[in-house]
Chain A
């Protein structure tokens, strides 16, 4: 059944369209940066963007930061929200169940399929962003540093920010990438940390997927379950920024979403990462249990 679900995922045009579109955003951003050499000053704007001009190899991290707030959760909510409700609307759910495919089995297969989808998107973004970063923004620190003075002379507005970063980049000479804390990272470290960030983001997205999957067993409307999951995320985002809601903040699904950035500190700042993994695990377990309880006792009338 798992194989069947994967085949269905991979043969569905929607899967690939969403992957391409998700990869297109970071690419577009990189093209603009390459042309204008304008980046947000450090500490402002999307994470890592300020650093990518010095080092294209950091662009995967910047790309993940770009797609994480909206693109990724939307794609995941759509796919996970469609998983059961879409089969119900299309009428194929009843035929699968009388084949027979056990209801628990179907739910597990759907979860695996969504997980593979999340990994597919995240990895696609990472690799296309790496290629984009290396080819468009410059493969090595030396090249980036070499560019900086030229830009500083040409574009007055961006000069201070770039000038401020140039010494940092200089320290990291010899092929090393600069961490957010300023200390150099070897290529191996960078790979490890990117893998860690991918794992963290995937798990965060599984939290979204679990909510959408649960809603998908409640309604026969794929749109309803996807929007329901997104509404939950938006609500969580609002509360995360609200000082009055400090009490509930540690339990919100999006509270530690950005903790993967801590993988790029030297040394890795583990506290929020661990909490993020923990809270997502709880969301996944609770909502999957609820989905299972609802789905396995439900009358299939669609």
Chain B
């Protein structure tokens, strides 16, 4: 779906993206993570042909970008940083104008057909993002969350095969974020590949199947989320009898922090049986799992907005 090879972007003396080899596969829910200023937005803009690469190759939907932008872009829905709309027009008028500005839907027949389906597609997109009842209100009277929803609707009016969303959760309240997650999962189940960038780890962890991590313009990690967050083969035990447990499992305890022990052991249930059998109390027990936060923080440095 999206492949980049040795992609580099320099702005004058600043190198924003350094030799990135991105690989997003069809059907992925791909989360691009990275601190502020790590090059996420520049990368997204290059994929969409807004910013031209200094060197390297970009392939989107099997075609080279930006050379084949005219064939590729109509199949993509995009949200790039903040949403944008003409403030004096209604949300519906904005969507209609934006749809009319572009070429016809690929393989969707004539211009006339695109026009006939426009109203229906606009209604559908507004419904998908939960803005059905918004009426004729001009966009300048929208809240931040409504603008974000309208931006998503704009990305959906062409019924795209690929969604490229830069920080889609911005400005949404907890319910809005959950709605967004459900919407994206639903679209993904229907065959839409989702590529999103974010610095909200929890959002990505709950939504994505694959993650890439950018740090100072380098792609330092790219893997399936399930593989990254696989159990580590260690068991976390919380016990008021920490001393006795440590003595019993001598040599297998890797780390101790007050009542919490990190034990090298294959099976949590077996360990639990053994501890309880020895008359030791266990408050909680379970396999250690690395969180996405641990993973990302271990491979990235400080963001560029932190000056030290």
Contacts and interface: CB of A to CB of B under 8 A. Distances in A.
22 contacts: A4-B97, A4-B100, A8-B86, A8-B97, A11-B93, A90-B84, A91-B83, A92-B84, A92-B85, A94-B48, A94-B50, A95-B84, A96-B101, A97-B50, A98-B49, A98-B76, A98-B80, A99-B98, A101-B101, A297-B52, A299-B11, A300-B45
Contacts of B78: 95, 98
Give me the 10 closest cross-chain CB pairs, A-B, nearest first: A91-B84, A99-B102, A100-B73, A300-B50, A299-B51, A92-B84, A4-B101, A98-B48, A98-B78, A4-B100
A1 interface: yes
Interface string B71-113: 0011010101111111111000100011011110000000000
Interface of A: 1, 3-4, 7-8, 11-13, 90-92, 94-102, 297, 299-301
Contacts of A102: 70
Given A95-B154, A101-B102, A90 B52 contact: no
B70 A13 contact: no
Contacts of A95: 78, 80, 84, 98, 154
Nearest to A88: B84
A231 B52 CA distance: 32
Most buried by B among A4, A8, A99: A99
Contact of A100 (B70, B86, B88, B100): B70
Nearest to A297: B52
Interface residues of B, number: 31
Contacts of B93: 11
Interface of B: 11, 45, 48-52, 69-70, 73-74, 76, 78, 80-89, 93, 97-98, 100-103, 154
A100 B11 CA distance: 24
A13 B69 CA distance: 34
B97 A300 contact: no
A95 B86 CA distance: 11
A300 B52 CA distance: 9
A99 B82 CA distance: 16
B86 A92 contact: yes
Given A92-B86, A95-B80, A98-B73, 16 more contacts: A1-B101, A7-B97, A12-B88, A13-B88, A94-B48, A94-B50, A94-B84, A95-B78, A98-B48, A98-B50, A99-B73, A99-B74, A99-B101, A100-B103, A299-B52, A300-B50
A90 B81 CA distance: 12
A13 B87 CA distance: 11
Contacts of A100: 49, 69-70, 73-74, 102-103
Nearest to B83: A91
